[in-house]
Amino acid sequence: MSKNKPEDSGLHRRGEETSEQHEQRLRIQDNLSRIKRKLMVISGKGGVGKTTVAVNLAAALAEDGFTVGLLDADIHGPNTALMLGREGGQIEPGRPGEIKPVQVGDRLKVLSMAFLLGDPGQAVIWRGPLKMGVIRQFLSDFQWGDLDFLVVDLPPGTGDEPLSVAQLIPDLEGAIIVTTPQKVALLDGRKCVDFTRQIKVPVVGLVENMSGFSCPHCGEKIEIFSFGGGEAAAGELGIPFLGRIPLDPRMVISGDEGQPFVNGHPEAEAARALRQIIHKIVGEDKPASAGSRH
């Protein structure tokens, strides 16, 4: 059996759009045209800390003066609201284009399926078309406004949601791939790289999370899941290596308490590692001045 090539597999073809879908695509393009940089955070498997990285990336950018939107596109496991202390947040109803995401502080907006569920423990039992419809609405009907960054947290894997986001968001800058040093995680990380290449989305870089344990009391480092596999994989695949983040028990506590780790523990080694990764992503960019916004 011959292998499917990208041009044969349908990955690049959006298929026949209805007139309603076409109009919605135009609304998405117009709605997101005021966002300077758009990034998606992906992983090949669950449990690697992808959402933790996405939340802390968004929070640190906002703390640095950037205006940021965080879109939680994980329909079945929307955890960003809890990790930002906005569990139970409400979306005010309105007409398409006028509905606003939930504000977190002065410079961060977040939108999550969690805000549309009456019960945080309620399961979302939807097939692909329903999930894609909600993601389209998140992009077209909500007023994101002028932003320096839009960070999209995606569910693990290379299924419907990552593919739809990659096809729907205009001028998507690229993907940040989160992995851990374990061989199985690195294998799935390689699949993410192959996925981005097939759909022609650039890779911003790879993050090795849970890269050893750093004791918060004595500073001793213990390699729990091995060390350095992410950097080696990035080198083999020819993609940038953004950095490694050590394990810190306080990171889990911070997420449960609704406070981003980089804000609550700026002195921690893991927070400093996150900051270094963020500086590589930001580059020479500066927050847009209030006077330049309309």
Q: In which domain, by residue range, is 174 found?
A: 20-282
Task: Judge whether residue 5 has pLDDT over 50.
Answer: no
The candidate with the shortest Cα–Cα distance to 38, out of 211, 141, 166, 158, is: 166
How high is the pLDDT of residue 228? 73
Instruction: Establish if 5 belongs to a structural domain.
Output: no
Instruction: Establish if 165 belongs to a structural domain.
Output: yes
Under the phi-then-psi rule, with left for phi > 0, alpha for psi from -120 to 50, and beta for the rest, what region is 110? beta
CB 264 within 8 A of CB 189: no
**Which pLDDT band holds residue 48 (cuts at 50, 70, 90)?**
very high
Instruction: Establish if 28 belongs to a structural domain.
Output: yes
Contacts of 103 (CB under 8 A, 6+ apart): 109
What CATH number has the domain bearing residue 234? 3.40.50.300
* Rounded distance between C-alpha atoms, residue 292 and residue 33, angstroms: 15
Domain count, the chain: 1
The model's pTM is 0.89
| Mean pLDDT, the chain, integer | 89
How high is the pLDDT of residue 212? 84
Burial class of residue 261, CB neighbours in 10 A (0-12, 13-18, 19+): buried
φ, ψ (nearest 5 deg) of residue 148 = -80, -40
Instruction: Establish if 263 belongs to a structural domain.
Output: yes
Q: Which amino acid belongs to residue 3?
A: K
For the record, the structure tokens of 88 come out as: 């139970």
For the record, the structure tokens of 285 come out as: 């960019």
16 or 154: which leads in pLDDT: 154
161-214 pLDDT, tens digit per residue, is 999 999 999 999 999 999 998 888 788 989 999 999 999 999 999 999 998 886
Task: Judge whether residue 97 has pLDDT over 80.
Answer: no
Instruction: Establish if 293 belongs to a structural domain.
Output: no
How high is the pLDDT of residue 238? 95
Instruction: Establish if 289 belongs to a structural domain.
Output: no
Instruction: Establish if 98 belongs to a structural domain.
Output: yes
Instruction: Establish if 13 belongs to a structural domain.
Output: no
For the record, the structure tokens of 39 come out as: 């990034």
**Which pLDDT band holds residue 153 (cuts at 50, 70, 90)?**
very high
